[in-house]
Amino acid sequence: MIWNTNSILIKTQRVPDDLYFRQAYDFMTSWLAGKQEFALHTSGSTGTPKDIVIKRAQLLSSALMTGAALNLQQGTRALVCLNVNYIAGIMMLVRGMELGWELSIVEPASNPLIEFQYPDFDFVSMVPLQLSTCLADEKTIPKVNHLGKILLGGAPIDISLQKKIDDLNVPVYQSYGMTETVSHIALKKLNLPGAEIGYTVLPGVKFGLDDRGCIFLQGAVTNDEKVQTNDLVEITSERTFKWLGRADNVINSGGVKVVLDKVDEVVAEVFYESGYSGNFFSWYENDEKLGQKLILIIQKNERELSVPKLIEEIRKRISAYETPKHVYFVEQFIKTPTDKIDKRKTASKFFGHQS
């Protein structure tokens, strides 16, 4: 089902019967009535998941920044396919009302384009899984180039999806942000023309590094409060930075800090180029000499994998310190409630069984 609305039409629309559309309707009417504070759920990217209170001025500032950064004018036709109970979906509603957009709202699904025979939009915000699913379905592949500008956020973009993005005719951007910054505060263009390696911070946002090298953010979108993250970044200019990984994904091997996210990117590239598909993650095991020894844990599948050749290919692209010293295969990965790999529990279970 699709529910179409805008800031004018909603004033005369009856309350939707569908529960999900009613949630969007309730938020929009409370916004138009001038509500000043909103309770939102965080994902836990900067700590333990919790409820926080966001002020109207923060949401408004974020909406205006996005509109200006992506040149989204009044009359923009936008597809709302992210959950309107969380910040990314809520911001689509706020942008629609404050910037005068025409909104087509669908309930969140892995392939939101199934609902449309002939989609014709100027802007959509998605998570990578949604875009990947759209591009894997023959019925919706041609529809993606009718989405105008695409904004991706909420999860990393794997190399397979990036290769497909390279072939799209519409501009695709990756966002950086969190609930505490009221959605994104930086954007990175993923495809040509103008593809970028790092993120460009939006105007009005101050940023810097703590003593760990992790980025902090401050501006109208944070209610001028300093938000400290656990994201390691390299500042490349006055307004740009390159994401390196998470501070809690760093090990110390022989006195050298190794960013596991960086190792994972290289391994993913090697897997993609060799045609090998399978879940994996880099991790560590205790070592008398090195303290923490870098390892690679791969979930078994039916295809054989040459470990010496894999290590050789990894070593061509990364330093010796960042090359796994051993590769282990496990039958199954343990997952979190949100279907992400629980690296610590998977490794602990494997090494526990070994002992």
Q: Work out the pLDDT band at 139, boundaries 50, 70, 90.
A: very high
Kindly state the percentage of the chain with pLDDT values over 70.
96
What's the average model confidence in pLDDT over 173-177? Answer: 97
Tell me the C-alpha distance between 249 and 260, whole Å.
Answer: 5
Confidence category of residue 338, pLDDT binned at 50, 70, 90: low
Identify which of 81, 95, 163 has the alpha carbon closest to the alpha carbon of residue 126. Answer: 81
Q: Is the pLDDT of residue 60 over 70?
A: yes
As a whole number of angstroms, the distance between CA 44 and CA 84 comes to: 18
Backbone angles phi, psi at 237, to 5 degrees: -165, -175
Predicted confidence band at 46 (pLDDT cuts at 50, 70, 90)? very low
Q: Is the pLDDT of residue 167 over 90?
A: yes
Residues in Cβ contact with 19 at an 8 Å cutoff, skipping those fewer than 6 apart:
none
Identity of the amino acid at 291: G
All structural domains of the chain, each given as residue ranges with its CATH number in brackets, are 3-245 (3.40.50.12780), 254-354 (3.30.300.30)
Q: Measure the CA dihedral 103/108/110/113, to 10°.
A: -30
- Which positions ≥6 away from 203 have C-beta within 8 Å? 65, 68, 69
**Average of pLDDT values for 302-311?**
91
Give the pairing of strands 250-253 and 256-259.
antiparallel
Yes or no: say if 333 and 279 are a contact pair by the CB < 8 Å rule.
yes
Torsion sign over Cα 349, 350, 353, 354:
negative
Rounded average pLDDT over 237-245: 96
* Token pair 């610590």: residue: 344
Structure confidence at residue 302 (pLDDT): 85
Asked if residue 44 has pLDDT above 60, the reply is no
Whether pLDDT at 223 is above 70: yes
Taking a C-beta distance cutoff of 8 angstroms, is the pair 272, 266 a contact? no
- Of 79-93, 285-299, 338-352, the one with minimum mean pLDDT is 338-352
Cis bond before residue 193 (omega within 30° of 0): yes
Classify the C-alpha dihedral 37-41-43-49 as positive or negative: positive
Q: How far is CA 1 from the centre of its chain?
A: 26
Q: Which residue in 181, 241, 237, 196 sits closest to 215, CA to CA?
A: 241
- The residue-averaged pLDDT of 61-88 equals 96
Please enumerate in sequence order all residues whose Cβ is within 8 A of that of 306, keeping only pairs 6 or more positions apart, or say none: none
As a whole number of angstroms, the distance between CA 143 and CA 113 comes to 7
